[in-house]
Amino acid sequence: MKGILGLLRQRSQSERTGEEQLDSVMFTTAFADQGVDPSLLVPWEARAIEVGAKKLNAERATKVLQTLWAKDKYMSHLDDHAIHSLQMFFEFAIVPANRDIIRQDEYGNFMVVLLNGNIAVDRLQPWGERMRLAETRPGDILGEMSLLDSGIRFSACTTITDCEVAILSTEAMDQMMTADPSLAARLIAVLARKLSLRLRVVSARLSDRK
């Protein structure tokens, strides 16, 4: 994470001195750099077709996102202007109920922000038990771990109701790093803080079940 933030700072400094910028491919190539077979990678474009997702009005969805994140301890560090700037990098969709947006143990290059509805987060344990880790609320973020570290999905995320979601892919993250590195740095920082908190909560729950 420090390496990512360091690169973003370097890019900001280069822009101030007027040096020519190259398109960033840090996130797009990260899975390949980890040795992940491209055939195992599930992009949002494929998942959207599979779950029957339909496009959602971007302006309305962004206003919903602004309202939700303004109430969040960490995401509120992104003000309305920052979130409006994120609109060009997000995709917005409606996903029907009972659809797996994310599946455990797959590789996926996108994260999901729940705007409306309810999503179940489950993990299949090695001994066969399916454990409910959480039922998310609007404003919650899913799948950011794989987006940041190019690792395998930890849990499955299934829509309980029809859901409105915002999607951020690795390609969009790279575009953001090129177009607005300061915004990308702020987003990565708040995502890392929220992810750390969630991992601590999940770790505590799993420890209690032993």
- Beta-carbon contacts of 75 under 8 Å, excluding residues fewer than 6 positions away, are 68, 69, 139, 190, 194
The answer to whether residue 92 sits within a structural domain is yes
Query: Is residue 21 domain-resident?
Result: no
- Nearest-angstrom CA–CA distance, 126 and 71: 37
Tell me: the pLDDT tens digits for 113-129?
Answer: 999 999 999 998 888 88
CATH code of residue 40: 2.60.120.10
Residue 22 lies in a domain: no
* 19 pLDDT above the threshold of 90: no
Could you give the number of structural domains in the chain? Answer: 1
> Percentage of residues in the chain with pLDDT exceeding 90?
54
Q: What is the mean pLDDT of residues 57-74?
A: 94
| Res 7 pLDDT > 50 | no
The yes-or-no verdict on residue 17 having pLDDT over 50 is no
- Global pTM exceeds 0.95: no
Q: Is residue 167 part of a domain?
A: yes
Domain membership of residue 24 (yes or no) is no
User: Using one digit for the tens of pLDDT, what is the confidence trace for 175-185?
Assistant: 999 999 999 99
Whose CA is closest to 65, among 29, 101, 89, 42?
89
Residue type, 94: I
Domain hosting 141: range is 2-12+36-208
The count of other CB atoms within 10 Å of the CB of residue 146 is 23
| pLDDT of amino acid 23 | 53
Summarize the confidence of residues 54-62 as an average pLDDT: 96
What confidence tier does 151 reach under pLDDT thresholds 50, 70, 90? confident
